[in-house]
Amino acid sequence: MTLAELNLALPEIFVLSAACVVMLADLFISDERRGLTHLLAVLTLVFASILTLRVMLPPGEVLHAFSGTFVRDRFGDVLKVFSYLTLAAVFVYAKHYLRRFGLFKGEFYTLSLFALLGIMVMISSASMITVYLGLELLALSTYALVALDRDSRFGSEAAMKYFILGSLASGLLLYGMSLIYGATGSLELAVISQSLAAGVGDSMLLTFGLVFVVTGIAFKLGAVPFHMWVPDVYHGAPLAITLFIASVPKLAGLALAIRLLDNGLIGLHQDWQGMLVVLAALSLVLGNLLAIAQDNIKRMLAYSTIAHMGFMLLGILAGTPEGYAAAMFYAIAYAIMSAGAFAVVILVSSGDREADRLDDYKGLARRNPWHAFLMLMILFSLAGIPVFLGFFAKWQVIAASLQAGFVGLSVLAVLSAVVGAYYYLRIVKLMYFDAPEDSAPIPAPVDFRAMLSINGLAVLALGVFSGGLISLCVSAFA
């Protein structure tokens, strides 16, 4: 372990130390001054961004460290920066919610930062052990976050479900990894890749292991048929936590898939492509169809996540740099849109309960015209209507899957997008076409409003000027 190696992992080291500092400092911060913890956490993200951007690697350069367990490349750097940005937005949105519902505690920030560390480790993993470490750190922090409101029955139930199913998935993934280790004799992804290329390993054993690995990934992404936990956890968790789960970890899910399937198991592309096709097709169809039937917006957005993960899989399954770039764009776009959508849900939760019923959105355009307009853009973006961000994400993954020769799957994907448009339009309808039950404008703190405006306008601006973000994603796989 040299200093240069430590330098590569500087962002991770910093986030780890900062998370500990936040945890300790929070003990000495009184309830009235809890804003300080918030500030510390946001500052952590700012500095982490600076540390990562300071040595942003040029396209194509890959640096390994710690005996081949850690990797630093452009893909990871870009993804980490977007993780910080999204988490910063989540912090700003969550503060408003946590204050209102009496959950404004230091634990939220500590656990979120540890979850972020897990995400960063996953993103930078070059070995199956590192993947697993990062994944578990993220998962354990998230389980605890879901139970943040310990007096809520729904929260505890959701946390328990999430914990049991998540542990099962981790177990499956670990089992798959052990089989692949058995077949190739290495945990290092690069070595596994070389072994596969050289034809080392029993193909039966490898395929068997691959099935478990893909299952684990599908579980973490929430792809059908491993999606059962998604609606329940989204629904049961406090809104601020749902906001977190629905945004930042999606970037980790992408990294998980690309590190394992591409960096390690690209030699088995033929095999995992077929599995991803089935997962994608099922997620697209079921996610969108089930979302229509929901009258709870958290559940609806949960099913919509499932469908969106199906779209992201379209990019991954191509197994080409273009496909990965498209999937990466999709994950980033989805994190931005999803954070914005849940922020509006937090905004509307002005009463003594979360505004999770669709009817709560009636007449929002008359109460808060600007926020309704932002939500309108986010919803049309989620539906994949140009000129918003979501369209350019969908367009690229469809191009990737067409390029891989899956015309039928692409047609299925766009048709499911049409089905999906219906339930997004339904919220637009409630906001714009229905009269409000209570016409008073909904108040929100200024930082919340500013962040929501930036978030909503980003959905428009990153769509109109999508060339830059697309180039960035393409350069990550150059």
Let me know: does 166 contact 245? Beta carbons within 8 Å: no
Given the rule CB under 8 A, which of 232-240, 278-286, 306-314, 414-422 is the region that contacts other proteins?
Answer: 414-422
The DSSP secondary structure of 5-23, one letter per residue, reads HHHHTHHHHHHHHHHHHHH
Let me know: does 220 contact 253? Beta carbons within 8 Å: yes
- 440 backbone φψ class: left, alpha, beta (φ>0; ψ -120 to 50): beta
Query: In the complex with other proteins, which residue's Cβ is closer, 318 or 346?
Result: 318
User: Collapsing DSSP states into helix, strand and coil, what is residue 258?
Assistant: helix
Let me know: does 474 contact 325? Beta carbons within 8 Å: yes
For residue 177, count other CB atoms closer than 10 A to its CB. 23
For residue 160, count other CB atoms closer than 10 A to its CB. 14
Candidates 265, 470, 476, 477: give the one binding other proteins (CB under 8 A): 470
Query: In the complex with other proteins, which residue's Cβ is closer, 336 or 376?
Result: 376
Query: In the complex with other proteins, which residue's Cβ is closer, 18 or 383?
Result: 383
Let me know: does 338 contact 381? Beta carbons within 8 Å: no
Given the rule CB under 8 A, which of 169-177, 223-231, 258-266, 390-398 is the region that contacts other proteins?
Answer: 390-398
- 472/242 Cα distance (integer angstroms): 28
User: Collapsing DSSP states into helix, strand and coil, what is residue 57?
Assistant: coil
Shortest distance in whole angstroms from residue 82 CB to other proteins: 18
Q: Which string of x and - marks every residue 310-339 that binds other proteins (by CB under 8 A)?
A: ---------------x--------------
Shortest distance in whole angstroms from residue 90 CB to other proteins: 28
Shortest distance in whole angstroms from residue 320 CB to other proteins: 12
- 57/210 Cα distance (integer angstroms): 31
178 binds other proteins (CB under 8 A): no
293 binds other proteins (CB under 8 A): no
- 230/245 Cα distance (integer angstroms): 10
Q: Which string of x and - marks every residue 341-380 that binds other proteins (by CB under 8 A)?
A: ---------------------------------------x
Let me know: does 87 contact 18? Beta carbons within 8 Å: no
Determine the length of the chain: 478
Query: In the complex with other proteins, which residue's Cβ is closer, 301 or 372?
Result: 372
- 443/158 Cα distance (integer angstroms): 30
Candidates 284, 474, 476, 477: give the one binding other proteins (CB under 8 A): 474
List b or e across 193-219, with b for residues whose CB sees 16 or more CB atoms inside 10 angstroms. bebbeeebbeeeebebbbbbbbbbbbb
User: Collapsing DSSP states into helix, strand and coil, what is residue 342?
Assistant: helix
For residue 47, count other CB atoms closer than 10 A to its CB. 15
477 binds other proteins (CB under 8 A): no
Candidates 386, 453, 454, 461: give the one binding other proteins (CB under 8 A): 386
Total site size for other proteins, rule CB under 8 A: 31
Candidates 5, 395, 436, 447: give the one binding other proteins (CB under 8 A): 395
Candidates 8, 291, 398, 458: give the one binding other proteins (CB under 8 A): 398
Given the rule CB under 8 A, which of 92-100, 175-183, 267-275, 399-407 is the region that contacts other proteins?
Answer: 399-407
- 52/3 Cα distance (integer angstroms): 17
Shortest distance in whole angstroms from residue 295 CB to other proteins: 17
Candidates 44, 124, 263, 410: give the one binding other proteins (CB under 8 A): 410
- 268/196 Cα distance (integer angstroms): 8
Shortest distance in whole angstroms from residue 288 CB to other proteins: 13
Candidates 234, 272, 406, 432: give the one binding other proteins (CB under 8 A): 432
- 470 CB contacts (<8 Å, ≥6 apart)? 325, 329, 392, 396
55 binds other proteins (CB under 8 A): no
425 binds other proteins (CB under 8 A): yes
Query: In the complex with other proteins, which residue's Cβ is closer, 199 or 467?
Result: 467
Let me know: does 70 contact 123? Beta carbons within 8 Å: no
The residue among 404, 214, 250 whose CA lies nearest residue 342 is 250
Given the rule CB under 8 A, which of 167-175, 211-219, 408-416, 435-443 is the region that contacts other proteins?
Answer: 408-416
Query: In the complex with other proteins, which residue's Cβ is closer, 65 or 291?
Result: 291
280 binds other proteins (CB under 8 A): no
The residue among 326, 471, 473, 332 whose CA lies nearest residue 403 is 326
Eight-state DSSP code of residue 360? G
Candidates 289, 399, 454, 461: give the one binding other proteins (CB under 8 A): 399
Candidates 56, 164, 407, 450: give the one binding other proteins (CB under 8 A): 407
Given the rule CB under 8 A, which of 68-76, 179-187, 265-273, 465-473 is the region that contacts other proteins?
Answer: 465-473
58 binds other proteins (CB under 8 A): no
The residue ranges that bind other proteins (CB under 8 A) are 325, 380, 385-387, 391-392, 395, 398-399, 402-403, 407, 410-411, 414-415, 417-418, 421-422, 425, 428-429, 432-433, 466-467, 470-471, 474
